[in-house]
């Protein structure tokens, strides 16, 4: 992701710094706060497991995964260390697990909403770095033209990455949060067979992720499923962020 911007480092160093800062901020807040809220919610519901494992903290070092957290700088996607929980310590394990799982993605949406306020108010332009290689240079130049543009790039990156994290994690496929949410919300007669398919989740998820690469881009189920809700949320939090133009 950021490698395509190395070529503009000499011309627009501040824009490159803003990109690095936005990705780092999104990583620290988007991933670390996501996991902290899992831990906090479990603790509030009566499960002491996250506290025992030292995860009830805002210190990002307790939550970030060395590989998964680094990948977000290069491919715009990554992960943190899962928070260990034991819903059996709560009064209602099934609903508690759903609540704990939902806390992470909802936190990402809250971060995206807050970061998008200046964009919604028209104070800064709606920019983000997820553009084609041919647009990377004009984006960097445009962002470097003024402090408002650079702030728009910073906030737009935070909005986009947090929306992506939230929507992706809400997929009802194990080991993502959406799987636990679905198990907790489905009626018992549907929840039981659905939960029994958990062992197939990682394989299904990998197939969904790599389908575009295996089919030369002809099949992209994740884009088909996640594209509409992502577009809806981006338009809600940062109107115009999906329609970039530079001049």
Active site residue 189: no
Contact between 8 and 136 (Cβ < 8 Å): yes
Q: Write out the DSSP string of 116-159.
A: THHHHTTSS----S---HHHHHHHHHHHTT-HHHHHHHHHHHHH
For 186, other C-beta atoms within 10 Å of its C-beta total 17
Q: Which residues contact 27 (CB under 8 A, 6 or more apart)?
A: 60, 64, 69, 72, 73, 78
Contact between 166 and 106 (Cβ < 8 Å): yes
Per 3-state DSSP, what percentage of the chain is helix, strand, and coil (rounded to 5)?
Answer: 70, 0, 30
Say how far apart CA 106 and CA 55 lie, in whole Å: 18
Q: Is 55 in a helix, a strand, or coil?
A: coil
Contact between 85 and 42 (Cβ < 8 Å): yes
Q: From 116, 120, 125, 122, select the one nearest 158 (Cα to Cα).
A: 116
Which tokens go with 53? 């494992």
Catalytic residue among 35, 137, 189, 198: 35
Compute the CA torsion angle 175, 178, 183, 185 (nearest 10 deg).
170
Could you list the active site residues? 35
């Amino acid at each position: 992701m950021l490698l395509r911007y190395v070529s503009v480092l000499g011309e627009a160093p501040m824009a490159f710094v803003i990109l690095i800062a936005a990705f780092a901020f999104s990583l620290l807040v988007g991933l670390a706060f996501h996991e902290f809220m899992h831990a906090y919610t479990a603790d509030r519901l009566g499960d002491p497991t996250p506290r025992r494992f030292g995860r009830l903290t805002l210190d990002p070092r307790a939550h970030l995964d060395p590989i998964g957290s680094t990948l977000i700088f290069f491919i715009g996607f990554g992960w943190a260390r899962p928070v260990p929980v034991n819903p059996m310590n709560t009064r209602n394990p099934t609903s508690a697990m759903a609540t704990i799982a939902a806390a992470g993605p909802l936190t990402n949406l809250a971060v995206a909403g807050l970061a998008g306020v200046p964009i919604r108010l028209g104070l800064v332009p709606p920019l983000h770095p997820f553009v084609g290689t041919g647009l990377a240079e004009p984006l960097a130049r445009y962002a470097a033209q003024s402090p408002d543009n650079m702030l728009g790039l910073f906030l737009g990156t935070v909005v986009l990455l947090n929306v992506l994290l939230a929507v992706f994690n809400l997929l009802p496929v194990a080991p993502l949060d959406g799987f636990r949410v679905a198990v907790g919300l489905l009626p018992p007669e549907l929840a039981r067979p659905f939960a029994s398919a958990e062992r197939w989740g990682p394989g299904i998820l990998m197939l969904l992720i790599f389908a575009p690469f295996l089919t030369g881009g002809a099949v992209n189920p994740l884009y088909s499923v996640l594209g509409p809700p992502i577009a809806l949320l981006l338009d809600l939090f940062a109107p115009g962020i999906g329609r970039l133009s530079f001049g």
